[in-house]
Amino acid sequence: MQSQLSIRNISKIFKTGDGVKNISLEIAKGEMVTLLGPSGCGKTTVLRSIGGFLEPDSGDILIRGNSILQLPPEKRPTAMVFQSYNLWPHMTVYENLAFGLKIRKYTKADMEREVKAALEMVQLGSAASKHPTQLSGGQQQRVALARALLLKPDVLLLDEPFSALDAKLRMEMREELRDIQMATDMTMVFVTHDQEEALSISDRIVVMHGGQIEQLSTPQDIYDTPQSLFVANFIGRINVLKGVSDGQHITVGGLRLPNPKLELPIGHCIVAVRPEDMYLSEQEEGLTGHIRQVMVLGHYAEVSVNYEEEVLKVFVPRQQAATLHPGQPISLMFSKMNVFPEISVSEADK
């Protein structure tokens, strides 16, 4: 099956040295792909190159098999939703949405029908006569999304569109966006630095680091089997421990466990364990430490444990947390781990 969007070896290096180098990516029709990473990793550079707001130094970008590099932004089969709403305050919501359709020579009847359908899709059917200043931030972002959807782009580009909204509204908006994407079968490329946002809405996630793709896979695969210590640290919570590999087994403290990554070189290594994969044990052969703090977070509790020079995080059921207290000696075991070559955590974050 031909890709809806093909990014082929694009590079864009700025005078500061930041940018991206040899990025390639194939995105299918109807797929929601998120570019995720810290500030300066290159995710927005890729997005703006697709939209035509940046010109790559080399490489090519194709939509439905045709190169779009020579086309200006307004001629590309793309639409962009920005973090800022970019609505004209002197125009009504209807006029803001109809403006692009007027340029495309839509008849008045077609224009009214299309704008009404777009507003219904973003649950703002009654807001057509209002001005942007009469709307909340979430409603304005819905209008900006409706305006982009009206253009019926082959690829919709979203540049951290919900980052200015509060947490509850942000969650509602991304649920609505996912519903719209599934209903329209539209191809979307979404940029965010919010890992929870990426995990919740994406078909696939592109984790970027230092201008390159660190890992490309499904949210589940990236969370469960990160391919590098950077990805493990960046996606979700993680405990990092020092271990030693003899090839077949990994030794961590008093624990000797099967090696899940047999290609790992023999010697010192890094063991990464999610808090939910750790559990408190009555057995003495676990990692022994003392409870530092217990924080109840709704239906579960986060237990901080002092272990050697580290503070390990463990998620336990709320009921179990009631029996725990600071200073209590405890042993830790874990049911799953990821193992990486020895590298400092600070180096992995670079």
Mean pLDDT along residues 175-188: 91
Mean pLDDT along residues 2-20: 92
- For the chain, give every residue range classified as CATH 3.40.50.300: 5-229
Distance linking the first and last C-alpha atoms of the chain:
37
Residue 84: its pLDDT value, please? 81
Q: Is the pLDDT of residue 346 over 60?
A: no
Question: Which superfamily, per CATH, for 5-229?
Answer: P-loop containing nucleotide triphosphate hydrolases (3.40.50.300)
If one looks up domain 237-348 in CATH, what number appears?
2.40.50.140
Residue 167: its pLDDT value, please? 84
Q: Which of 63-72, 118-127, 255-264, 330-339 has the lowest mean pLDDT?
A: 255-264
The secondary structure of 78-132 as a DSSP string is: EEEE-SS----TTS-HHHHHHHHHHHTT--HHHHHHHHHHHHHHTT-TT-TTS-G
Amino acid occupying residue 9: N
- pLDDT tens-digit profile of 83-109? 887 889 999 999 999 988 888 888 889
**Residue 299, helix vs strand vs coil:** coil
Find the helix or strand (DSSP H, E) in which 51 lies. helix 43-51
The answer to whether 276 touches 289, Cβ cutoff 8 Å, is no
- pLDDT tens-digit profile of 290-305? 999 999 988 899 999 9
Mean pLDDT of the chain: 90
Stronger pLDDT, 281 or 228, i.e. the higher one = 228
Residue 261: its pLDDT value, please? 82
Q: Is the pLDDT of residue 348 over 60?
A: no
Q: How far apart are CA 102 and CA 98, in angstroms?
A: 6
- Report residue 116 CA to chain centroid gap: 31
Mean pLDDT along residues 188-214: 94
Amino acid occupying residue 328: Q
